[in-house]
Amino acid sequence: MTSQADWLRGTLFALALVMTGPVLADNKPDDGKVTNFLLDNGMEVVVIPDRRAPIVTHMVWYKIGSADEPPGKSGIAHFFEHLMFKATTNHAAGAFDRAVSAIGGSNNAFTSYDYTAFYETVVPQALEQMMDFEADRMRNLILNDDVIATERDVILEERRSRIDSNPQAVLGEEVDATLWQNQPYRIPVIGWMQEMEKLNRADAKAFYDKYYTPNNAVLVVAGDVEPQAVKVLAEKTYGKVARGPDLPPRIRPVEPEQNTRRTVTLADARVSVPSFSTQWVVPSYHTAKPGEAEALDLLSEILGGGNRSRLYQALAVQQGIASSACAYFQGTMLDATNFTVYGAPRGEAKLADVQAAVEAEVARIASEGVTSGELEKAKDRFVRSMIFARDKQDSMANIYGATLATGGNVRDVEEWPGRIRKVTADEVRQVAARYLSLNHSTSGYLLPKTENEEMTLGAQPHAAMNIQEVKSEKGMIAWLVEDHTVEIVNIGFAFNGGITQDPVGKEGMANLMAGLFIEGAGNYDSDAFQMKLDDAGAEMGLEAQRHYICGSVCMLPKQQDAAFGLLRLALNAPRFDQGPIDRVRAEIVSDIVGSERDPDAIAQRKWLRAIYGTHPFSRPGEGTKESLAGITPSDLLAFHKAIFARDGLHIAVVGDIDANTLRERLDQLFGDLPEQQTLAPVADVVPK
């Protein structure tokens, strides 16, 4: 169970730890430049210094993914990700995990089509230890038949539970195998069951010896470190690992041109809400002509990148026929990639109507293009996204790691915002017209069954977190970590209460209210408020938890007046207009219906009822179709008034704002809220 103090400590700690930007060395600012170098054995190293919090993210990326697997050995890249956590000649199985856990760190790994990555987040003093462990398992794994058999059973069960029992995942595999006719992206990362079952020790040993070498790896270290110290440690640990065989260029089969529309349909009794996706093969950043990938990125943002996108505004807001409508572009793939649009109907709307509306919008952009206004807003959002990525240490490590592991370099990352800025509206229209033809598309349909009977750093100084308590004239208290090295301000706040305050018969109230946080306030209706929020370059949201309602806002200091003004309105003067209520409620109901036949969701609901009985903990936070139907604007206003009050408020702030400014802002934001909450008592849980 999480208490309010736990939340505040956790939020402040998280906000403070993730701030990333110009570095500090011995408490003096340097130029903040990302450093990269090559070890004598061929291992690439990237260092992203951030000396403000005593945390380090250490990642090793291997330039080997599922698309590089030998024919008939699908799944071996992911299989080997698992095997890397087994015993070595120097450490017992599980020793690495236990060492990380003992110092309060975290570690894991992931496999993609184009790379496999292993990471640890620890205190700087443990960096050399992490490097020792990773360098050890790079070459000293013990691969015997017992280890192979045991871990093979694990990945087979993983496939059964994650793929074979999930209709959406099954359809995704079928669509990929249809979209890609010749490219290895058609093979699932986890592998095909019949090939996974035959993976053996010889396969694993050959794969290990060929690909798990320093000259096929990238080391990324981000956090409270100094580049030269990282270099010394990398040479001491990884540098003693012998260079492996030189690998040939990663040249894969080229996908032939598609000349007809392809479709895949899956009907399953576990599906409650139908959906569709349409995909096209398009160039990635690694294969595109100059400017094309950037234009495709911006196209995906304008078309379906969020609630200001064309698809969401047209289908969800204006026509009210879609519970979901989006577009995305997987631009970081090593080879060609896919551009996808997706939609699901709301209520009684037909899937065919949603698909027709989505495809009409694609065709409209291909013929008429996009406006200069929406293009500039999309560019602003993309450039902001890179600034906001600096807000998370691991985000920067992932961006640089993925780029280098797929043949890019540090300069590619640094120059990306400038390339985005250069894209013209006509270039966006051209890529839509060139690549997004329905005759070159592959569509997948997921239907309900009934609808388709058819390092040691020794005494080196590390950052200390200076937490200030800031009290406003009206008595609001906030915890502040002042940090002017990145032009970002993060505010986290929480009010006591939450889902347990939902009235009987109107379950889902807190969740619905949270979903309406940016759907209009003061004199701004939903559309106007979100336009203002976009113009202010801010992101904000609200979430209902069991014991509290928590919110956050991320803003750029130079636009803080506008952002604070909008946050004040959202906190003090929500509109709860009927139109947004109906739309957000319908989206929640669509999710509820979609979970009605999901075995995991069914089991979760029954488990909560079994252990909590009639206690509020047993009630679904999202509510039910019936309970949501009875919630009115006046209900939401009363619920908001009961919870959004100063005596139940907790605030944490991190970023480019000083204590005096924050003190004034606290009263601006929260000073007009009621003094006291009116919460219903929640009984203690009595163990059965």
Catalytic residues, by residue number, are: 81
Which residues lie across from 651 on neighbouring strands? Answer: 478, 493
Closest CA to 685 of 618, 622, 620, 621: 618
> Which secondary-structure segment (H or E) carries 158?
helix 145-159
Rounded distance between C-alpha atoms, residue 375 and residue 379, angstroms: 6
* 3 state SS of 467: strand
Angle 292-304/372-389 helices, nearest 10 degrees?
Answer: 100
Rounded distance between C-alpha atoms, residue 519 and residue 536, angstroms: 16
Rounded distance between C-alpha atoms, residue 281 and residue 296, angstroms: 12
- List helix spans (H) across 84-214: 95-102, 127-139, 145-159, 167-179, 193-196, 201-211
**In the numeric block, which tokens belong to residue 289?**
């002509």
Phi, psi angle pair for 505, to nearest 5°? 90, -10
Residues 6 or more apart in contact with residue 87 via CB below 8 angstroms: 93, 95, 141, 142, 147
Q: Which residue has the tokens 């479709």?
A: 263
Residues 6 or more apart in contact with residue 631 via CB below 8 angstroms: 506, 508, 509, 512, 581, 585
Rounded distance between C-alpha atoms, residue 115 and residue 550, angstroms: 36
- List helix spans (H) across 238-350: 292-304, 310-311
Map 412-439 to HEC letters: HHHHHHHHHHHCCHHHHHHHHHHHCCHH
Q: Which residue has the tokens 């070595």?
A: 88
Closest CA to 303 of 431, 418, 180: 431
* 3 state SS of 663: helix
**In the numeric block, which tokens belong to residue 233?**
């440690």
